[in-house]
A and B are shown apart, each in its own frame.
Chain A
């Protein structure tokens, strides 16, 4: 028999065309991957759980942050869009004011475009002078009260969006004549036992008798006025030595804050507008971004961690399933599956898992956002791209998680794989 080896080999030059190549269409590969997943639905669901929860957490996080952000902004919106304040700039070194606001600031500013109401205010130094009702009707027995006294120009009440429980604000006439009238915040009114204004109740501020013409209900922009005794600024100037208004408050047309702010300084101090400090509240967009950035940063980290755990979960279970399905891999290799077909199938399976996990996670996340929003009485807000991007992220996670197990599977030698009995 030996001489057989020595004779000219019967082997032909092996042309590539003679040899069959492993071939598999994409459709077949996808069908096999899907069938592989459906063959063991329990395990498939379990594998998916990690991505589902990770993506769900991410979507829910972004949605809750956005909903919370919009909610806060919704409360701010109208007030912040219409508010401007101005006051004399403080000298940095000596901490004294460089200039003062003019007494007629309200009139100067009131003419500007976009201004709906304007008014000045200042704290009145009353020393140890106390406030008491006339006649004394305080049930607690305390008659003299230490109260904050604020001087206001007539326009201030509208400028700070004040509403009245009783009576009304003092007007331009009261102010110009320095009439002895007063408006009480709800706090002082209660302490002084004054509950209505119809019968012209009066109080004593020091030894000056002032007629109460209004009691405030609420002050949206200057809550401190709720606890103040408010007198006309001309009265404060003549009777209490007020030097100048301290602050100008302006209520503008919707969205006109920037325009008004630009004109304000020049109107108040034409010689040197720089001495006036004008402030506009941050725009709602800024507030929203700030809030969302805070919430997002915290929860995105949590969501990302959840997603990472999900990816490790997929990778781990896929790896375990490669080990478990070693003999199946052997069978397929024996039946003519190329290494890339094995790798492709496992990669497709884990990618599909990631995709479906992403879709399910996005749905879960959206549901969580809606439920939380309803519970909090918010309007649920979620950018459309978030649930749309989620399946992409899931797909990528599945793909990445499948790479190593797929390569492991492809590296197996057919016979060795067959021997590993599952």
Chain B
């Protein structure tokens, strides 16, 4: 479904953070996010940059319903998800959100295919469709020739692409990617960004953490995190 078909939806932000904080109790306590406000519209491509330890991953975890804010509200598609019970948040993770972890987090003892298919295991997708989509997603990141390999035998860049294939398998409306190009050469980075931009054009919202200025520059919008605070970058 293209953006043009649903102008009404575009008006409302997909992501809306209202004074969101995340404090790790410690000791010593760490204020990883400090009263953040943020709105991201449907189909937007947002790059998050900032120094190490500034809270970028923490922000992504909160956005991905993997972590809860210690204060403030997080509205996803207009729903206050901060207070939802575990089951609903789990459903959102499985069916609306795709996540590319900074550390990939692939299942070491399962094949590339199984790792990617796992993304559609918990949303009732029929087996054949799951297989089809997994093959398609793996092809899109250029790893068809390694489909039955074990992730342990893959290079860092290849593992990263498997993680991306898994994240886009269920056609999430929100993709959260934590340095998805960190281990890729320029050609592969280019191809991956092309793929993600294509998905954004179809209405997917993308929030991507990156240390690479080139990558950040291709995003429609950039924010910088410093010490738990967000700043728009012109």
Chain A interfacial positions (CB closer than 8 Å to B): 1, 4-5, 9-12, 14, 18-25, 27-28, 32, 35, 39-40, 327-328, 330-339, 341, 414-415, 418, 421-422
Supply 17 further A-B pairs (C-beta < 8 A) apart from A19-B79, A22-B94.
Answer: A4-B18, A5-B19, A5-B73, A10-B16, A10-B75, A11-B73, A20-B91, A24-B122, A24-B124, A32-B121, A332-B121, A332-B122, A334-B64, A334-B105, A336-B90, A336-B95, A415-B66
Among B73, B109, B119, B127, contact of A9 (Cβ-Cβ < 8 Å): B73
B91 touches A19 (CB 8 A): yes
Q: Which of B1-9, B81-89, B180-188, B213-221 contacts A (4 or more CB under 8 A)?
A: B81-89
1/0 per residue, CB under 8 A from A, across B58-80: the answer is 00010010110000010100111
Name the residue in B19, B84, B86, B109 with the highest tally of chain A Cβ atoms < 10 Å from its Cβ: B109
Q: How large, as a class, is the contact surface on chain B?
A: 35 or more
Among B16, B75, B87, contact of A338 (Cβ-Cβ < 8 Å): B87
Residue of B nearest to A330 (CB): B105
Q: Give B62 Cβ to nearest chain A Cβ, in Å.
A: 10
In the complex, whether B56 has a CB less than 8 A from a CB of chain A is no
A24 touches B92 (CB 8 A): no
| Cβ contacts under 8 Å, B64 to chain A | 334
Answer whether A23 and B19 are a contact pair too, CB < 8 Å, given A35-B110, A332-B118, A336-B93. Answer: no
A144 to B95, CA, bound (A): 108
Answer whether A22 and B123 are a contact pair too, CB < 8 Å, given A10-B16, A11-B75, A14-B80. Answer: yes
A194 to B166, CA, bound (A): 101
B87 touches A22 (CB 8 A): yes
A15 to B80, CA, bound (A): 12
| Cβ contacts under 8 Å, B78 to chain A | 10-12
A327 touches B91 (CB 8 A): no
1/0 per residue, CB under 8 A from A, across B156-173: the answer is 000000000010000000
Chain B interfacial positions (CB closer than 8 Å to A): 12-13, 16, 18-19, 37, 61, 64, 66-67, 73, 75, 78-80, 84, 86-88, 90-96, 99, 101, 103, 105-110, 114, 118-119, 121-124, 127, 166
**Contact residues of B: prevailing secondary structure:** mixed
A339 touches B86 (CB 8 A): yes
A24 to B109, CA, bound (A): 21
A1 to B18, CA, bound (A): 9
| Cβ contacts under 8 Å, B122 to chain A | 22-24, 332, 335-338, 341
Among A27, A40, A336, contact of B94 (Cβ-Cβ < 8 Å): A336
Answer whether A331 and B84 are a contact pair too, CB < 8 Å, given A10-B16, A336-B93. Answer: no
18 CB < 8 A contacts A-B: A9-B73, A10-B12, A10-B16, A11-B80, A12-B79, A19-B84, A20-B95, A328-B107, A328-B108, A332-B118, A334-B93, A334-B105, A335-B119, A336-B91, A414-B66, A414-B93, A415-B66, A418-B66
A4 touches B79 (CB 8 A): no
A331 touches B118 (CB 8 A): yes
Residue of B nearest to A40 (CB): B109
Answer whether A334 and B66 are a contact pair too, CB < 8 Å, given A20-B92, A22-B90. Answer: yes
Residue of B nearest to A12 (CB): B78
Name the residue in B84, B118, B127 with the highest tally of chain A Cβ atoms < 10 Å from its Cβ: B118
Residue of A nearest to B169 (CB): A335
| Cβ contacts under 8 Å, A335 to chain B | 93-94, 118-119, 121-122, 166
Residue of A nearest to B37 (CB): A1
Answer whether A337 and B94 are a contact pair too, CB < 8 Å, given A23-B122, A32-B121, A415-B67. Answer: yes
Among B79, B101, B109, B118, contact of A39 (Cβ-Cβ < 8 Å): B109
| Cβ contacts under 8 Å, A337 to chain B | 90, 94, 121-122
Answer whether A21 and B114 are a contact pair too, CB < 8 Å, given A11-B75, A336-B123, A341-B122. Answer: no
Q: Give B1 Cβ to nearest chain A Cβ, in Å.
A: 17
Residue of A nearest to B93 (CB): A336
Q: Which 4 residue pairs of A and B lie closest in terms of their CB atoms, listed nearest first?
A: A336-B94, A20-B95, A23-B124, A336-B122
B107 touches A14 (CB 8 A): no
A302 to B193, CA, bound (A): 65
A332 to B94, CA, bound (A): 9
Residue of A nearest to B19 (CB): A5
A18 to B79, CA, bound (A): 9
| Cβ contacts under 8 Å, A339 to chain B | 86, 90
Residue of B nearest to A43 (CB): B109
| Cβ contacts under 8 Å, B95 to chain A | 20, 336
A28 to B119, CA, bound (A): 13
Among A25, A28, A338, contact of B90 (Cβ-Cβ < 8 Å): A338
A341 to B109, CA, bound (A): 19
| Cβ contacts under 8 Å, A332 to chain B | 118, 121-122
Among B18, B90, B93, B119, contact of A5 (Cβ-Cβ < 8 Å): B18
| Cβ contacts under 8 Å, B79 to chain A | 11-12, 14, 18-19
Q: Give B128 Cβ to nearest chain A Cβ, in Å.
A: 12
Among B16, B91, B99, contact of A334 (Cβ-Cβ < 8 Å): B99
Name the residue in B37, B61, B105, B127 with the highest tally of chain A Cβ atoms < 10 Å from its Cβ: B105
